Every structure is written in structure tokens, then in C-alpha cells.
A and B are shown apart, each in its own frame.
Chain A
Amino acid sequence: MKISNELKVGITIVVAITIFIFGVRYFEDLPLFQTTYSLTAEFDNAAGLIAGNLVRVHGVSVGSVNAVGISDETGKVEVQFHVDRKIIVTEGSYAVVSGIDALGAVRMDLFLGPRDAAPIPEGGLVGAGEGNDLFGDLTARAPAMVQKFDDVLSGLDQVLSETGTMLSEPNSDLRSSLASVRGSVAQLERLLTEERTRISSILRNVEDATGSIKTLSAENGPSVTKLISDLSVTMATLDKELISLGDASRGLTELLNKINEGQGTLGKLVNDPSMYHKMDSTLTGINALLADFKANPGKYLGEMKLVDLF
């Protein structure tokens, strides 16, 4: 069968139209055969969102932006977009514009509401949410950061220029410090050169000493061990002694406390002043007696009949 020219042309045109429509839908991220679900969102700031940008749910592309414009009534940015019919956008969903405008990668993130809530009708309004994405924050904070960075850089610049001045001025502190450091280093070097032999002999001696210690400890290993064990036994004994000494001192403390509190004979002796007074008066009496005895021995001795005794 010969295909007529009309048919050939017709088939080609139909195929072209089909490819065109499906191609455009494909790159618009519209499903090829099913219809989509149109919605509207309002923002205070579209942050560079344009028609064709992707709409994502949990990072998955589910549709794209149809149009972005300023609403006549509210003065806000009105974004018309569509998503797959499979995505059920319920009440409580909200949209966020995220991404960096400078890189051109702006998109709209759609956060779905609870699954059991009523779905938003076709063409309905989705609320705007607060952007919480890193790049958005960075973009918003970039001017302040740049300012700070600028400050830091200018400070650094100043420091560098001052350092330069200090280095170039012959009488500056830095230069003199550097010169003295250099002098010290030179002296140290000289010292090291001059005393090289001594240093090396010192080092050799140290080496010898450590070597001797090593040999000594190797040779007398067992006796050193015994010494240490004996020492540890002694220490243990000493420890015990110390414990009993502690007990003794504790007893002594108790005793002293009792004495202080006036318990017992000794306590009364220490704490009761009446004895002292009594003794005092007794001694006074003895003193008077002795004085009297000195003065008139006869008075007493007469009675004794000393001579009678012998």
C-alpha cells in the first residue's frame, strides 16, 4: 500500500504535536496522563521564586510553580502552583520558599498537614510558613556577616600595617626585641660552641651514671627486692604502731576531756578551787605556827620534855 503524501504529513504533524505537549509537560514536571491539583500560596516575600521552580514535599519533587505575582487585593505575593493528585494537601499544610536566589536554586517546600484533616479544595489557599532552612538563614544573615568580616579584615589590615611600621622603624620596640632575641640566640650559640666539649662530657657522665645505676640494679636485683619487701614489712608494722598510738592518743584525749569536765578525783583536783583555798589557809596556819615556834620554842618544847627522852 502506498502511503499518500497527505497521510505522511498528517502523521508527522500529529507525532510532533504529541511530542511537543508531552515534552513540555515532562519538563514542567507535570504527570503525562493525569491532571494535577492547583493551589495558591501567599507570601510576604517570594525570595526569587519564579514560574517553573519545583514544589517539594519532604524533598521529593511533586509539582512546580505556575505563576508568581503580586495580589491586587492583599498586596502580598501570590504563588500559583500545582502538585500531583496523589499528594493530598490537607488543612494545616504550609509552604516555605527556600534555597539561594543567587544560585538560582529557589524552590518551594510544602509541609503537609495532618493526614486525617480535610483536604484543601482545588485552587485553595495554602498558608505560608517560616523558612527554617540553612541557606535561607545564610542569605538573610549574609550582610551582617559580610560587615563583620569586613571589620575583621580592616582590623587585620591595621594590625599588619602597624606591624609593618614597627618593623620598618629602626627604634621600635619590636625591632629592639628582635635584636635582643637575636643577640641571645647568638650568645647561646657561642656558649654551645665554646662549651661543646664540656657539655658532651657532662652528657657522657650522665650516661655513665645512668648506665651504672642500670648495671647496679641489674646485679643487685634480688637484694634490692628483699630490701624493698623488708621495708614494706617495716612500714606495715609502723602502720600498726601508728594505729595503736592513735588509740592511745584518743584515750588520752578522753581522759583529758574528763579531767576538764571535772569528773573523777583528778578532775576535781584540777577544777575545784576549794582545795586550793583550804591548802592555802592550812599553809598560812602552818606559817604562823612556825613563826610562833621560832619565837617561843619553849612554849612548845617545854611540854615535850626533850631532855627526858635522852
Chain B
Amino acid sequence: MLQYAKNLLFDPIQALGRYSQLLFKAFGAVPEFNTYRKNLWEQMIHVGIDSMPIVMLAAAFSGAVTTVQTSYQLVSPLIPKSIIGSIVVPSMVLELGAVVTGFILAGRVGARIAAELGTMRVTEQIDALEAMGLNSIGYLIVPRVLAGIVMFPVLYVAACFVGIGGGMLVGHFGGFVPMGVFVDGAREFFQPFDPIFGLIKCLVFGFIITSVSCFKGYYTRGGAEGVGKATTEAAVASCVLLLFADLILAATLL
């Protein structure tokens, strides 16, 4: 019992320490570009371009649904229809574009990274890399985290573009709000900082998802079962941390 309480208290702190140590080593390995150059492009394809269709699909639907539901909620004749645009565009740019993409990446990319690295760990491929004199952290973790940081904003831009476009189209052809009115409303309340804030969020989310998944995968223990556990934990921890980061960023930067 006491042991359990001790674990409950110390395990997260110990994990945080190991996580920081891993990140520290990874940052140290960033200058060794040649070690991970080839891996970086591959990871960028996996993280970014391969995720593009699912991210765009989810964003288009969230934009469309936001438009439809906002127009459903705006029943007062005093409120102009353009308000739908003023609500949908900032919600997409500030929140949905980043968070929907984040969740999809946490599931798709986080799990993949954790499974990959976990399998490499349990099949002792990482040890083999070390034995070959390669910096395994520089070779495996740095390209993945960098790919996340670089490609997440790209996915975010795609998500916003498709989401706003989807909202606009559904609003127009669904008879909720004409396109011109939608754009007018969006322009009325558009803050140039909103997309910048979205990009900042994306950089943070990209870093969190990839680094947490790498951490979970890199320190996998216990065979196939351990790989499964690491995969689940990577996805869940990425999502939870992403939500916390979202709140902290909104509270500090907005």
C-alpha cells in the first residue's frame, strides 16, 4: 500500500526527469544533421504528408458542423447572419484547426512513433545502433520531433483552409449564410494575431505529441505487451498534455 502511494507520487516525477533527460540529449544531437538527415525527410512524409487527408477530412467536417450549429443557435433576428462567419473563422483558426489536428496526430503519429521505437527497443535494435556507434537519440528521436514541429503547422494551415472553406461552402449551399456575408463577418472580427497564435499552438502540440511518443517508445520495457502499453500510453498522454498545453497557451498568450 505504502509502496503503491510512493509509486503514485514518484513515478510521474521520475518520468518527467527521464523525459527531460531524453530531450536534453536530443537537443544536444540536433547539430548532428548528417546522422538524421535521411530519416528527417522520411518522418516528415509520415507525420505530415501522409496525415494530410485524414486531417483535412476532419477539419472540413468540423468547419461545416460549426457553421451549421452556429446558424442553428443564432435565432435572434437582431443578430446579423455575418456573425456566423465571425464565430466559425476564429474558432477554426484559434482552436479547432489546431486541436482537431492535434488529436488526429496524437492517435495516428503518436501511436506509430511509440510502436516503432518500442519494437526497436524490445528487439534490441536500439542497442544495436548504439553498438554501431550511432547516437540512437539523434538518429531516431530528433528527426521525429523535428518533423512534428515543422509539419504540424503545415497540417494546421491545411486544416484551417479546408475547415473554413468547408464551413463557407456548407453555409452557402446549405442556405445558412451566403459566402459574402460569411467573409464579411469573418473580416469584421479578424485579429491578425489569431493565426499566429494558432501557429504557436501547433509548434507546441507538434513538439508535445512527437516527443512524448518518442519518450514512451524509447523507454519501452517488456516485449510485445510492453509495446502495446507504450502505444496506448503515448496516444493518451499526448492527448492529455495537448489539452493542458492548449489551456496554458490560451491563458497566457490571449
Chain A residues packing against B (C-beta within 8 Å): 4-6, 8-9, 12-13, 16-17, 19-20, 23-24, 27-29, 50-54, 61, 64, 104-105, 107
**CB within 8 A of B187: which of A9, A19, A64?**
A64
- Taken residue by residue from 181 to 205, chain B's Cβ proximity to chain A (1 for < 8 Å, 0 otherwise) reads as 0011011111110010001000000
Residue of A6, A27, A53 ringed by the most chain B CB atoms within 10 A: A27
Residues 36-58 (chain B) with a chain A CB within 8 angstroms: 41-42, 44-45, 48-49, 52
Min CB distance A102 to B, Å, is 11
Please indicate the chain B residues that have their CB under 8 angstroms from the CB of A13 in the complex: 150, 154
Chain B, residue nearest A99 (CB): B188
Residues 143-160 (chain B) with a chain A CB within 8 angstroms: 150-151, 153-154, 157-158, 160
Residues 169-191 (chain B) with a chain A CB within 8 angstroms: 183-184, 186-191
Whether A53 pairs with B188 at a CB distance below 8 angstroms is: yes
Residues 216-233 (chain B) with a chain A CB within 8 angstroms: none
**CB within 8 A of B157: which of A5, A6, A16, A52?**
A16
In whole angstroms, how far apart are the Cα atoms of A123 and B49 in the complex? 43
Known: A23-B160, A53-B188, A54-B187. 12 other contacts (CB 8 A): A8-B49, A9-B41, A12-B49, A16-B154, A16-B158, A19-B161, A23-B157, A23-B195, A51-B192, A52-B190, A54-B188, A105-B80
In whole angstroms, how far apart are the Cα atoms of A64 and B154 in the complex? 27
Check: B84 CB closer than 8 A to any chain A CB.
Answer: no
Please indicate the chain B residues that have their CB under 8 angstroms from the CB of A12 in the complex: 48-49, 52, 151, 154
Check: B89 CB closer than 8 A to any chain A CB.
Answer: yes
Please indicate the chain B residues that have their CB under 8 angstroms from the CB of A52 in the complex: 187-192
Please indicate the chain A residues that have their CB under 8 angstroms from the CB of B160 in the complex: 23
Residues 121-145 (chain B) with a chain A CB within 8 angstroms: none
Please indicate the chain A residues that have their CB under 8 angstroms from the CB of B164 in the complex: 23
Chain B residues packing against A (C-beta within 8 Å): 41-42, 44-45, 48-49, 52, 80, 86, 89, 150-151, 153-154, 157-158, 160-161, 164, 183-184, 186-192, 195, 199
In whole angstroms, how far apart are the Cα atoms of A61 and B190 in the complex? 14
In whole angstroms, how far apart are the Cα atoms of A2 and B150 in the complex? 23
In whole angstroms, how far apart are the Cα atoms of A14 and B183 in the complex? 25
Please indicate the chain A residues that have their CB under 8 angstroms from the CB of B158 in the complex: 16, 19
Question: Can you show 24 pairs from A to B with CB atoms below 8 A apart?
Answer: A5-B41, A5-B42, A5-B44, A9-B41, A9-B49, A13-B150, A16-B157, A19-B157, A19-B158, A23-B160, A24-B192, A24-B195, A27-B186, A27-B190, A28-B190, A29-B190, A51-B192, A52-B189, A52-B192, A53-B188, A61-B187, A64-B187, A64-B190, A104-B86
Total cross-chain contacts (CB, 8 A): 71
Whether A51 pairs with B161 at a CB distance below 8 angstroms is: no
In whole angstroms, how far apart are the Cα atoms of A130 and B160 in the complex? 40
Q: Contacts A9-B41, A52-B189, A54-B187; is A27 near B157 (CB within 8 Å)? A: no
Please indicate the chain B residues that have their CB under 8 angstroms from the CB of A27 in the complex: 89, 183, 186-187, 190
Whether A9 pairs with B44 at a CB distance below 8 angstroms is: yes
Q: Contacts A12-B48, A23-B160; is A104 near B195 (CB within 8 Å)? A: no
Min CB distance A98 to B, Å, is 13
Whether A51 pairs with B42 at a CB distance below 8 angstroms is: no
Whether B41 pairs with A6 at a CB distance below 8 angstroms is: yes
Whether A5 pairs with B45 at a CB distance below 8 angstroms is: yes
In whole angstroms, how far apart are the Cα atoms of A8 and B47 in the complex? 13
Min CB distance A104 to B, Å, is 7
Whether A51 pairs with B187 at a CB distance below 8 angstroms is: no
Whether A61 pairs with B195 at a CB distance below 8 angstroms is: no
Min CB distance A15 to B, Å, is 8
Please indicate the chain A residues that have their CB under 8 angstroms from the CB of B89 in the complex: 27
Whether B154 pairs with A104 at a CB distance below 8 angstroms is: no
In whole angstroms, how far apart are the Cα atoms of A236 and B46 in the complex? 117
Chain A, residue nearest B198 (CB): A20
Chain A, residue nearest B160 (CB): A23
In whole angstroms, how far apart are the Cα atoms of A17 and B42 in the complex? 21
Whether B191 pairs with A8 at a CB distance below 8 angstroms is: no
Please indicate the chain A residues that have their CB under 8 angstroms from the CB of B49 in the complex: 8-9, 12
Whether B161 pairs with A23 at a CB distance below 8 angstroms is: yes
Please indicate the chain B residues that have their CB under 8 angstroms from the CB of A16 in the complex: 153-154, 157-158
Min CB distance B174 to A, Å, is 22
